[in-house]
Amino acid sequence: MIDTCDQIFVLLQHWLVSFLPAAWQTAAGVLLSVAAIVCLFPALFALTTVFERKGLARIQNRLGPNRVGPFGFFQPIADGIKSLTKEDIVPLSADAAVHFLAPVLLVVTVFMGFAVLPMGRNMVLVDLDAGLLFYFAMGASSELAVFMAGWSSRNKYSLLGAMRAVAQMISYEVPLLLSSVVVVMITGSLSLTKIVEAQNHYTWGLPHWYIFTPWGFAGFLMYAIATTAETNRSPFDLPEGESELVAGYHTEYSGFKFALFFLGEYVAMFSISGLGTTLFLGGWSAPFSFLTWVPSWIWFFSKLMLSIFVFIWMRGTLPRLRQDQLMNFAWKFVLPMCLLNLMVAGLWRFMGDGWLRWVVCSAILLLAYVGLGLGEMRRQRLGPRSYRYAE
């Protein structure tokens, strides 16, 4: 019974596919899973937009949208109808082909990332040996779409926004990859299913999630910072800051194409949170050994939504970082911490089991954190102000 609940989607897929002749069964099964992903995550996106608006509103001492539907939960339907019925304006001097292709490329690459995420026991679309590498390859391709959008609009603000966005995404890609490489090092495989299975063991009821180890905790923090920057999310949303750049690289998009950019950004958030859950939070494994009766996909999606709530919380709390502050942070703090984390993980692995490795690794990471924080991130000592007047 518990197993049926756990594997209900897999069994459903097998049952539906059994109606077809044997030659078509694998293709039909894959198509069915793809259709499920393409229907589920945009629905989750719609729900997240309401949660975000209401969550941000409550943080800011106001009610969110509450007119459409019970407590405003049908608001995304109204928003969807609005964006579908708006006129699709393409600027006269814009590059029409590239302008059209940019949101398409973004949405395609973002959805491809879901192919390797294990959303439950036996619930991976494609079990690749180099799954993590595939995910990062797709993530890197989405940066090109951002650039295409900004350049094809023939608009100073769009181009500036696109340059800033791409610079930010490239500089935070290095910490993203390095913090994931630690997990790969310890697990010994790039396959995401194997990473989850390595975390699915329990000692005294507590799980072996990587976040509960010193290097995993540091890696998770770096990963969280890098994902916030990769998806252009507050406090790293300078490329689309409304008060600075109108709307950044999607200024010239209206109607459904804008909705596609919005969708692409949120779905990228989902997939990268899903990856973080898989790498550090144990994927579909339950937090305590007495809770394994709850279906695995419920755990995966709860952890995913928890990450989304933390994103929304951060958005409501922190002010935006300036471009140079962003870059300083990436190259002077996050990157050294990631490299140190790699070495600490190696130390962890070769010190053998026991309490000593916990103490040593935690001590090294804490010292590095405090040291780098005091050293690199102190306020700039500004000299006396100098004025230049127009001649």
- Residue 342 interacts with another protein (CB under 8 A): yes or no: no
Stretch that binds another protein, among 124-132, 193-201, 241-249, 280-288 (CB under 8 A): 124-132
Minimum distance of another protein from residue 296's CB (angstroms): 26
Single residue of 44, 47, 68, 130 touching another protein by CB under 8 A:
130
Contact 109, 148 (CB under 8 A): no
Comparing CA positions, the residue from 18, 350, 53, 13 lying closest to residue 185 is: 350
CA distance 155 to 152: 8
Minimum distance of another protein from residue 93's CB (angstroms): 10
- Residue 144 interacts with another protein (CB under 8 A): yes or no: yes
* CB within 8 Å of 321: residues ≥ 6 apart: 235, 236, 238, 329
Of the pair 27, 170, the CB lying nearest another protein is at 170
Q: Name 207's bridge partners.
A: 202
CA distance 337 to 174: 12
Of the pair 91, 316, the CB lying nearest another protein is at 316
Minimum distance of another protein from residue 57's CB (angstroms): 8
Residues 74-113 that bind another protein (CB under 8 A): 95, 97-98
Of the pair 4, 61, the CB lying nearest another protein is at 61
Asked if residue 235 has a cis previous peptide bond (ω within 30° of 0), the answer is yes
Minimum distance of another protein from residue 131's CB (angstroms): 9
Stretch that binds another protein, among 236-244, 261-269, 297-305, 311-319 (CB under 8 A): 311-319
C-alpha separations of 59 from 55, 62, 117, 156, 228 in Å:
6, 8, 32, 34, 19
Contact 178, 335 (CB under 8 A): yes
Residues 46-75 that bind another protein (CB under 8 A): 55, 58-63, 66
Residues 277-296 that bind another protein (CB under 8 A): none
CA distance 79 to 259: 9
Minimum distance of another protein from residue 194's CB (angstroms): 12
Amino acid at 269: M
Question: Residue 38 CB: number of other CB atoms within 10 A?
Answer: 11
Of the pair 13, 228, the CB lying nearest another protein is at 228
Residues 151-190 that bind another protein (CB under 8 A): 151, 154, 159, 163, 166, 170, 173, 188-190
* CB within 8 Å of 50: residues ≥ 6 apart: 64, 65, 72, 73, 75, 76
Minimum distance of another protein from residue 116's CB (angstroms): 10
Size of the site for another protein (CB under 8 A): 49
Minimum distance of another protein from residue 42's CB (angstroms): 25
Q: Is 369 exposed, middle or buried (0-12, 13-18, 19+ CB in 10 A)?
A: middle
What's phi and psi for 213, nearest 5 deg?
-105, 155
Question: Residue 258 CB: number of other CB atoms within 10 A?
Answer: 18
H-state helical runs in 231-378? 242-245, 256-280, 296-317, 323-328, 335-351, 355-376
Of the pair 24, 313, the CB lying nearest another protein is at 313
Single residue of 11, 206, 318, 351 touching another protein by CB under 8 A:
318
- Residue 313 interacts with another protein (CB under 8 A): yes or no: yes
Residue 290 three-state SS: helix
- Residue 314 interacts with another protein (CB under 8 A): yes or no: yes
HSE on the CB side for 144, CA within 13 Å?
11
C-alpha separations of 157 from 18, 149, 239, 248, 266 in Å:
54, 12, 10, 6, 22
Contact code string over 7-46 relative to another protein, x by CB under 8 A: ----------------------------------------
Single residue of 77, 81, 88, 129 touching another protein by CB under 8 A:
129
Minimum distance of another protein from residue 377's CB (angstroms): 5
Of the pair 154, 208, the CB lying nearest another protein is at 154
Interacting residues toward another protein by CB under 8 A: 55, 58-63, 66, 95, 97-98, 128-130, 133-134, 136-141, 143-144, 147-148, 151, 154, 159, 163, 166, 170, 173, 188-190, 313-314, 316-318, 333, 369-370, 372-374, 377, 388
